[in-house]
Every structure is written in C-alpha cells, then in structure tokens.
C-alpha cells in the first residue's frame, strides 16, 4: 500500500492514469502460468509496473507487449527497468547497529525461495561482518534448508546456533524475522535477552503485535514514486538501456534487538 501511495502521487504529478490489477499471489505454484488481465493483452496501457514476485513466464509474456518496471525483483534475462531497495547498505546498517551492543557472532537467515534481493541482502550481511573483522562460519549462513514449508522454520537449528554462541539473527525480511522469533520463543528462548533478531521492510507482523522488529525501512513510498519516474523515462526514451534505481533505506530500532547478556 505504501508503494501504491507513492505511485498514485507520482501519476497525479504527471497527469497519467494508474490502473491496479491483481495478477496472482506471490506464493502460488510457479509452474502454472498466470493469465494476463484483459487490459494488458491488447493496447489498453502504455507500460506496466510489477510489484511483488511473479511467474517468470508471465513476466516474459508481458515484456513482449509493454515496457516493464519491476519493483524489488529482477527477472533476468528479461530486459526491464527496476526500482530496488538498497539491500546491501541496508543490511550493513543492521550489522553496524548490532556491533556496539556487543554482538560478535551473527547468523544470517534467508528466505524459503531464491530471489535477487535475498542474494543482495546476504552479501550485505557478509560485507558488514567483514567490515567489523568478523567472518561468519558457513553453518551461520542459513537459508532454504531450515524451512519446512513457507511458514515453518526448524527451531532446533536456531536453538543449536544459540548454543554454539550466536547472539543475533539477521533475517532477510520481517516475515522471516517473525518466524525466527516465534521459533526461538517456542524453544524456550527469550528475544532479545537470549538472542536479538532483526528484519528488513519495517512491516507490521500481525502475530507479534506487542513487538516492534528492528528493521530497515526501505522507503516504499519513494520506491513507488521512482517506479513512475522510470515509466515516464521509458516512454520518452524507448530505446534506452534498462535502468536500475536503488532507494536508500533507514534503520528502525525496535525491541527485538538489545545488548548481549553478560
């Protein structure tokens, strides 16, 4: 909704019309190509902005019809413009926040699926650790293998990480951070007393209403504005090379992170 707010404001500024279509949920079976909305099958629109993760086959089909701007996701080898969060620097800011709190062994927790933003944020985590003279062991770089389905993380793996000295879990986004918090607390551990947990996206987690996750606000409103700016640029310069714009985020400190217990 914040992205849509930015897109709507930007289209008002350039006297354009924004039509919203729900193509498909981001977590449906990717082997089933989505049907394009009727207005996208002909010439009813000049360009399309994609928000969320979509079926690559649908994206390829759409890219043959109209210019595309994707928000947060990349669909190589499809040629398209994109607006991205500053994933590298955002996670580096999280690591910088944890260092003065005494954390010296951090674990990374990725998503249950592959995505460009996951790779970039993981790289930011490693760079952030190296900047502070830390080299995260391989077993502290967790990803798809610890998931049992989209919304179930193996709490045993997290508990073992704490036992071997991990004091903070840096998560790829707030959804995963919420799962980590739940798994740790189900294992009898306290957040942040026994382990800090951070996320990315600064989103409200419905089942964690009393907790505000330390996270990166990627400035979704500005990302939405940037999408429309790229659309207008593409319409003015249709032959120009695809452009990727990165929007700087802001660290939001919540109550899921704290100093290492002494």
**pLDDT tens digits for 15-36?**
888 888 776 554 444 444 456 6
185 and 146, same domain (yes or no): yes
For the chain, counts of helices (H) and of strands (E): 7, 10
pTM of the model: 0.88
132 and 230, same domain (yes or no): no
Q: Is residue 230 part of a domain?
A: yes
7 and 20, same domain (yes or no): yes
| Confidence at residue 115, expressed as pLDDT on a 0 to 100 scale | 82
213 and 227, same domain (yes or no): no
Q: Is residue 51 part of a domain?
A: yes
Q: Answer for the pair 221, 3: CB distance below 8 angstroms, yes or no.
A: yes
35 and 72, same domain (yes or no): yes
Range of the domain at 112: 87-217
98 and 171, same domain (yes or no): yes
93 and 111, same domain (yes or no): yes
Q: Is residue 257 part of a domain?
A: no
Q: Is residue 202 part of a domain?
A: yes
- pLDDT 10s digits, 178-191: 999 999 999 999 99
91 and 192, same domain (yes or no): yes
77 and 46, same domain (yes or no): yes
Cα pseudo-dihedral 170, 88, 53, 180, rounded to 10? 0
Secondary structure class of 50 (helix, strand, coil): strand
Task: Look at the alpha carbons of 138, 142, 143, 147 in this order and tell me if their dihedral is positive or negative.
Answer: positive
129 and 33, same domain (yes or no): no
42-51, 111-120, 149-158: the lowest-pLDDT one: 42-51
| Confidence at residue 31, expressed as pLDDT on a 0 to 100 scale | 46
Quick check: 97 pLDDT over 50? yes
* CATH code of the domain covering residue 233: 3.40.50.2300
64 and 19, same domain (yes or no): yes
Q: Is residue 259 part of a domain?
A: no
């Amino acid at each position: 909704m914040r992205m849509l707010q930015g897109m709507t404001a930007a289209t008002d500024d350039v006297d354009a019309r924004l039509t919203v279509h729900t193509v498909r949920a981001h977590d449906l079976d990717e082997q089933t190509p989505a049907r394009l909305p009727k207005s996208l099958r002909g010439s009813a629109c000049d360009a399309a902005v994609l928000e969320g993760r979509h079926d690559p086959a649908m994206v390829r089909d759409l890219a043959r019809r109209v210019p595309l701007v994707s928000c947060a996701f990349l669909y190589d080898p499809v040629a398209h413009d994109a607006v991205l969060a500053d994933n590298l620097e955002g996670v580096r800011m999280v690591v910088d926040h944890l260092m003065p709190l005494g954390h010296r062994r951090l674990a990374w927790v990725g998503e249950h699926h592959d995505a460009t933003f996951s790779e970039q944020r993981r790289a930011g985590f490693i760079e952030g650790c190296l900047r502070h003279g830390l080299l995260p062991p391989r077993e502290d770089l967790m990803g798809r293998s610890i998931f049992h389905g989209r919304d179930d993380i193996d709490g045993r793996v997290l508990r073992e990480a704490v036992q071997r000295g991990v004091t903070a879990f840096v998560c790829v986004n707030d959804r995963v951070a919420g799962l980590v918090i739940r798994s740790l607390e189900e294992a009898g551990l306290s957040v942040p007393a026994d382990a800090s947990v951070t996320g990315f996206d600064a989103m409200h987690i419905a089942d964690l209403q009393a907790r505000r996750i330390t996270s990166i606000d990627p400035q979704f409103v500005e990302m939405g504005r940037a999408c429309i700016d790229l659309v207008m640029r593409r319409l003015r310069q249709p032959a120009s090379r695809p452009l990727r714009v990165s929007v700087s985020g802001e660290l939001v400190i919540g109550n899921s992170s704290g100093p290492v217990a002494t």
